[in-house]
């Protein structure tokens, strides 16, 4: 698949409304919906555009905020499923998410549910999510998802407040029968700051653990916000004789639409390539200056530009922007980038 032509995954923030108070929230979620959100007809038009122009239909993950805050979520899901997109939901675990609702989504044809569990116990998870009882409820929802036949993707944010429980968290993922475990490295944006992020040495250790753990389990273990996972896997001999493959990251196999229709390279990189109300998302993805620059390793600065892994990895453009205000700057989350690493720990 040519990642300059098609995204592999499109994450779609259909609302910013959410009733949780997560301390790292990318979206700075708010309690109420915004009147300017894309409506179902507008969402359908974007889906039509992608169905017509893309040779590979991306996996679509409807997220928020909390997508279940939208009364018309069923219509949105139906619009996506009926056009042949593999459709997934990333709901917030609130009292709204009942076992019946989970089974309803499965019957509609939703293929996967992404749930966030950030630690192996309530002390870590509930403190991080800002609402007591969320951990226990998340486990119940996870069991309901597996029971319904949908795939369960577990998302774990790893940063200063959750790193202590990460290995136990991996065991929990296994016991919950996940189909994939995605470890999100906290990017200092939204409600997260530099103090809640890990430094490059710590990230390297976590990536080594993930590469090793991947070899021991039958589900996918991936890193989000740390594309140098591919370097760690390759250097560690986890890929055998295979050359390092291009990893999906911002603007390369991935795009994000916000609730107002702005198209970002990632939910963690708040620079817009355009708005779907004015321009085709496919054109934005393929041709906008922002998206094309983020796919061009010749434009990366510092260690990332000079790196042997510039093509396969390219660094987290979101972290570069969050720390230096320049998405083409070196990724300070990598020990090879040559970036000013102390910036992370001194902030």
CA distances to 27, 113, 239, 255 from 13, in Å: 9, 15, 34, 11
Task: List phi, psi (to 5°) of 108.
Answer: -70, -25
Least distance from ligand SF4 to the Cβ atom of residue 228, Å: 4
Q: Please, what's the largest Cα pairwise distance for the chain?
A: 53
Least distance from ligand SF4 to the Cβ atom of residue 264, Å: 20
By beta-carbon proximity to ligand SF4, the closer residue of 263 and 304 is: 304
Q: Which residue(s) pair with 60 in the sheet?
A: 10, 87
By beta-carbon proximity to ligand SF4, the closer residue of 126 and 331 is: 331
SS3 category, 222: strand
Least distance from ligand SF4 to the Cβ atom of residue 17, Å: 35
Find out whether 178 and 213 touch, Cβ atoms under 8 Å.
no
By beta-carbon proximity to ligand SF4, the closer residue of 25 and 203 is: 203
What are all long-range contacts of 173-176, with beta carbons under 8 Å and residues at least 24 apart?
173/217, 173/219, 174/217, 174/219, 176/139, 176/142, 176/143, 176/146, 176/152
166/123 Cα distance (integer angstroms): 13
Give the DSSP H/E element, type plus range, for residue 115.
strand 112-116
Least distance from ligand SF4 to the Cβ atom of residue 314, Å: 5
Find out whether 92 and 15 touch, Cβ atoms under 8 Å.
no
Least distance from ligand SF4 to the Cβ atom of residue 244, Å: 9
User: Which residue intervals of 176-238 are DSSP H helices?
Assistant: 200-214, 229-235
Percent of the chain that is helix, strand, coil (3-state, to 5): 40, 15, 45
Least distance from ligand SF4 to the Cβ atom of residue 304, Å: 3
Least distance from ligand SF4 to the Cβ atom of residue 227, Å: 6
Least distance from ligand SF4 to the Cβ atom of residue 323, Å: 13
Find out whether 338 and 344 touch, Cβ atoms under 8 Å.
no
Least distance from ligand SF4 to the Cβ atom of residue 342, Å: 17
By beta-carbon proximity to ligand SF4, the closer residue of 3 and 115 is: 3
- Provide CB contacts within 8 A for 131, sequence distance 6+: 19, 20, 21
Please give the residue ranges that form the binding site for ligand SF4 (CB under 6 A). Answer: 228, 231, 303-304, 307, 309-310, 313-315, 331, 334, 336-337
By beta-carbon proximity to ligand SF4, the closer residue of 162 and 246 is: 246
CA distances to 14, 48, 69 from 259, in Å: 5, 18, 12
């Amino acid at each position: 698949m040519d990642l300059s032509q098609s995204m592999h995954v499109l994450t779609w923030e259909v609302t910013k409304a959410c009733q949780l108070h997560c301390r790292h929230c990318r979206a700075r979620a708010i309690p109420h919906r915004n009147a300017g959100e894309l409506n179902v007809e507008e969402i359908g038009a974007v889906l039509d555009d992608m169905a017509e122009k893309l040779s590979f239909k991306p996996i679509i993950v409807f997220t928020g905020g909390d997508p279940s805050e939208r009364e018309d979520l069923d219509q949105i899901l139906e619009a996506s499923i009926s056009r042949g997109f593999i459709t997934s939901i990333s709901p917030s675990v609130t009292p709204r998410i009942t076992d019946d609702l989970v089974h309803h989504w499965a019957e509609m044809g939703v293929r996967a549910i992404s749930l966030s569990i950030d630690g192996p116990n309530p002390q870590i998870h509930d403190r991080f999510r800002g609402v007591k009882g969320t951990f226990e409820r998340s486990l119940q929802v996870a069991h309901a998802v597996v029971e319904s036949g949908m795939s369960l993707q577990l998302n774990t944010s790893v940063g200063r407040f959750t790193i202590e429980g990460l290995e136990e968290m991996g065991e929990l993922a296994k016991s919950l029968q996940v189909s994939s475990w995605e470890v999100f490295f906290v990017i200092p944006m939204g409600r997260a700051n530099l103090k809640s992020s890990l430094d490059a040495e710590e990230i390297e250790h976590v990536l080594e653990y993930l590469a090793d753990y991947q070899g021991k389990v039958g589900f996918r273990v991936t890193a989000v916000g740390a594309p140098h996972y591919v370097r760690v896997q390759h250097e560690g001999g986890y890929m055998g004789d295979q050359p390092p493959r291009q990893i999906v990251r911002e603007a390369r196999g991935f795009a994000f639409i916000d609730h107002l229709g702005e198209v970002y390279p990632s939910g963690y990189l708040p620079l817009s390539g355009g708005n779907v109300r004015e321009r085709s998302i496919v054109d934005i993805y393929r041709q906008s200056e922002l998206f094309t620059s983020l796919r061009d390793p010749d434009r990366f600065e510092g260690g990332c530009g000079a790196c042997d892994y510039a093509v396969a990895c390219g660094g987290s453009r979101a972290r570069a922007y969050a720390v230096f205000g320049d998405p083409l700057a070196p990724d300070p989350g990598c020990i090879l980038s040559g970036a000013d690493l102390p910036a992370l720990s001194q902030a």
